[in-house]
């Protein structure tokens, strides 16, 4: 059940895939020297293993609890969070003018990766705060930034994202929460939200809710949505905390996993006294919220890496320790550790290849985000295309690796006491929240496919083909992706594209991940083990992904061959 930070592999991915040394050559990221990078990766790994990891099982067993409107966490969570923000981990990539360290997003991603592998449910608290910082920094007024960002950047306060309502899930335009002007520049907020991660808790002095709502006379649908900052405690001009705002947690959801993350049903304005401030302009809330969601989607893709790493580590230990049966075909009939059996080796190698491939994709994406921050439009376009791949395939990897971890444990994996089942349960939410994986795939084939007339994805696939000529399955997969993209952009209807979107998204993500693993193997920093893992990924994982080409180009006809009543009846 212990967690050992995969520091060496993280540093390799940061150096090779994010190309951190090139980023550090720019004045903005000049502090990201190799020594600094190594200190951060090593330091957060030690902190995560020592403070967050011991609470993982405790949080799963005891969970968050609601009593008299207040949510509390098990003993130890408050002290661990206090150490997290006092040591400055929340401020790694925060804007310097508001107390942040201004380091690359790549390093903030590493902070989240280590914390999440140690304790995925707990790490959702800083993950949501990062998103709130992004939205306020890009869309808030000067006074809002001055008031809220220093305390959010430090981690003294936490942030949330309030989109979903019972009748408005993925269809955000159907929301009903209302905002009415008070006449002094502030607004009265009234409505309810569901699935609000860390919407109420006792670990920070204030919780800053970002809430989507409709103003009077707003257009219907998503065009009429505005974004408001709604603090748990009202904030004075000097940052001091005032009275409790008129909002409360009505209940906590009973979930499959992430038990230590309070998933709240929030009510705003029960007494018609919930006060909020408009962020940006009326009816432009989705633009601001998508800034937050884009950051969150990268970090949820990161969660796939996190849970895969934790499940892999536990499966490795079990495979070394569990003695069961003689190896088939061996003259020696003595029982051996199950790691000696071919099928267990297959599962372990697959788990490792998927985990390290997803990590390579994560840091390649983070590096592109950092280059976009430095002003590269090409990096921004590529990052935009990589985000749905990372979120969708990365979280699918988390589920598959956690499932394989249960399988390696055999019957004991199905028993809660071993802890393997927790990883499986925790992983399952990641393909759902922050835009389901189907929505990510739809985004890729509807919006991102057309970037620069298809040139952004075409150049990506061409670069993979050119860089992987020695790996026929990987180069062939990139060519298959290009062929599917050309077909979708040419003759396919919108339904045909959507029908093949998940297969195409998976193919694309696997191609990029395989390419980035190949770059690690060429670098040589991972030794013989990395060469074997990269080769296995290129042959086995890429070979499977090539088999999805038919599905990607099958069209939608069969999906609509049965009427809705017959299909769902």
Catalytic: 557?
no
Q: What is the DSSP string of 264-289?
A: EEEEE-TTS--EEEEESSTT-HHHHH
Dihedral sign from CA coordinates of 96, 371, 391, 192: positive
Residue among 301, 325, 305 nearest 313 (CA)? 305
Its pTM surpasses 0.75: yes
- Separation between Cα atoms, residue 115 and residue 303, nearest integer Å: 10
User: What Å distances lie between residue 408 and 157, 363, 428, CA to CA?
Assistant: 41, 28, 18
248 and 305 in contact (C-beta within 8 Å)?
Answer: no
How confident is the model at residue 85, as a pLDDT?
94
CA–CA gap between residue 256 and residue 428 (Å, rounded): 8
Question: Where does residue 233 fall: left (phi above 0), alpha (psi -120 to 50 degrees), or beta otherwise?
Answer: beta
pLDDT attached to residue 333 = 77
The hierarchical CATH code for the domain 158-287 is 2.40.110.20
Alpha-carbon distances of 25 from 21, 37, 100, 209, 305, rounded to whole Å: 7, 14, 20, 37, 28
Give the span between the Cα atoms of 126 and 138, in whole angstroms: 19
Question: Residue 65, SS3?
Answer: strand
Q: DSSP string spanning 242-269?
A: EEEPSEEEEEE---SS-TTS-EEEEEE-
Q: Please write the tens of the pLDDT for every residue from 535-562.
A: 999 999 999 999 999 999 999 999 999 9
CA distance 445 to 368: 20
Q: In degrees to the nearest 10, what's the CA dihedral of 242, 262, 74, 311?
A: -140
CA atoms in the 13 A half-sphere facing the CB of 188: 11
- Tens digits of pLDDT across the chain (569 residues): 689 999 999 999 999 999 999 999 999 999 999 999 999 999 999 999 999 999 999 999 999 999 999 999 999 999 999 999 999 999 999 999 999 999 999 999 999 999 999 999 999 999 999 999 999 999 999 999 999 999 999 999 999 999 999 887 677 778 899 999 999 999 999 999 999 999 999 999 999 999 999 999 999 988 999 999 999 999 999 999 999 999 999 999 999 999 999 999 999 999 999 999 999 999 999 888 888 788 889 999 999 999 999 999 999 999 999 888 777 767 677 888 889 999 999 999 999 999 999 999 999 999 999 999 999 999 999 999 999 999 999 999 999 999 999 999 999 999 999 999 999 999 999 999 999 999 999 999 999 999 999 999 999 999 999 999 999 999 999 999 999 999 999 989 999 999 999 999 999 999 999 999 999 999 999 999 999 999 999 999 999 999 999 999 999 999 999 999 999 98
| Length of the chain measured in residues | 569
Locate 146 and state its tokens. 């001055």
What mean pLDDT is reported for the chain? 95
**For residues 105-116, b (16+ Cβ closer than 10 Å) or e, as one string?**
bbbbbbbbbbbb
175: left (phi over 0), alpha (psi -120 to 50) or beta: beta
SS3 15: helix
Residue 177 pLDDT: 95
Which structure tokens are listed for 72?
Answer: 């509390």
Tell me which residue of 82, 221, 537, 484 sits closest to 355, measured CA to CA: 537
Three-class DSSP category at 58: helix
Q: Report domain extents, the chain.
A: 7-154, 158-287, 436-569
3-class DSSP state of 569: coil
CATH annotation of 7-154: 1.10.540.10
Which structure tokens are listed for 396?
Answer: 């699918």
Q: Report the pLDDT value the prediction gives residue 293, as an integer from 0 to 100.
A: 80
Three-class secondary structure of residue 171 per DSSP: coil
* Residue of 19, 434, 465, 473 marked catalytic: 434
């Amino acid at each position: 059940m212990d967690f050992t930070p995969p520091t060496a592999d993280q540093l390799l991915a940061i150096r090779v895939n994010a190309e951190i040394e090139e980023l550090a050559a720019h004045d903005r990221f000049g502090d990201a020297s190799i020594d600094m990078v190594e200190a951060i990766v090593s330091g957060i790994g030690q902190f995560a293993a020592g403070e967050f990891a011991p609470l993982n099982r405790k949080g799963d067993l005891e969970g968050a609890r609601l009593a008299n409107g207040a949510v509390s966490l098990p003993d130890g969570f408050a002290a661990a969070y206090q150490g997290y923000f006092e040591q400055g981990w929340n401020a790694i990539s925060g804007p310097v003018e508001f107390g942040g360290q201004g380091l690359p997003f790549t390093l903030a991603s590493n902070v989240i990766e280590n914390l999440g592998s140690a304790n995925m449910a707990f790490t959702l608290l800083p993950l949501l705060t990062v998103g709130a910082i992004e939205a306020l920094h890009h869309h808030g007024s000067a006074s809002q930034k001055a008031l809220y960002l220093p305390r959010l950047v430090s981690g003294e306060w936490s942030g949330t994202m309030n989109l979903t309502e019972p009748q408005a899930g993925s269809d955000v335009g159907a929301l009903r929460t209302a905002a009415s002007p008070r006449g002094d520049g502030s607004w009265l907020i009234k409505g309810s939200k569901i699935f609000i991660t860390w919407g109420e808790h006792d670990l920070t002095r204030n919780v800053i809710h970002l809430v989507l709502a409709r103003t009077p006379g707003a257009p219907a649908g998503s065009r009429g949505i505005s974004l408001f900052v709604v603090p748990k405690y009202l904030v004075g001009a000097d940052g001091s905390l005032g009275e409790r705002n008129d909002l409360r947690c009505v209940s906590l959801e009973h979930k499959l996993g992430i038990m230590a993350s309070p998933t709240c049903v929030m009510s705003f304005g029960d007494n018609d006294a919930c006060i909020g401030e408009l962020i940006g302009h009326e009816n432009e809330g989705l633009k601001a919220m998508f800034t937050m969601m884009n950051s969150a989607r990268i970090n949820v893709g990161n969660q796939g890496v996190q849970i895969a790493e934790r499940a892999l580590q536990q499966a490795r230990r079990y495979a070394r320790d569990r003695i069961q049966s003689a190896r088939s075909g061996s003259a020696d009939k003595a029982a051996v550790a199950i790691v000696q059996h071919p099928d267990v080796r297959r599962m372990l190698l697959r788990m490792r290849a998927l985990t390290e491939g997803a990590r390579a994709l994560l840091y390649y994406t983070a590096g592109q985000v950092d280059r976009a921050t430095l002003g590269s439009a090409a990096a921004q376009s590529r990052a935009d295309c990589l985000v749905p791949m990372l979120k969708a395939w990365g979280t699918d990897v988390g589920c598959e690796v956690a499932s394989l971890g249960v399988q390696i444990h055999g019957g004991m994996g199905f028993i809660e006491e071993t802890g393997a089942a927790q990883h499986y349960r925790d992983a399952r939410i990641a393909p759902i929240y922050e835009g389901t994986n189907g929505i990510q795939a739809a985004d890729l084939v509807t919006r991102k496919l057309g970037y620069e007339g298809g040139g952004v994805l075409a150049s990506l696939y061409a670069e993979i083909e050119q860089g992987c000529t020695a790996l026929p399955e990987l180069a062939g997969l990139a060519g298959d992706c290009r062929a599917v993209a050309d077909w979708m952009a040419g003759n396919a209807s919108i339904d045909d594209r959507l029908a093949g979107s998940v297969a195409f998204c998976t193919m694309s993500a696997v191609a990029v991940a395989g390419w980035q693993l190949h770059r690690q193997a060429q670098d040589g920093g991972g030794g013989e083990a990395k060469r074997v893992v990269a080769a296995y990924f290129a042959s086995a994982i890429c070979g499977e992904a090539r088999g999805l080409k038919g599905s990607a180009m099958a069209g939608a006809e069969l999906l609509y061959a049965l009427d809705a009543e017959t299909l769902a009846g």
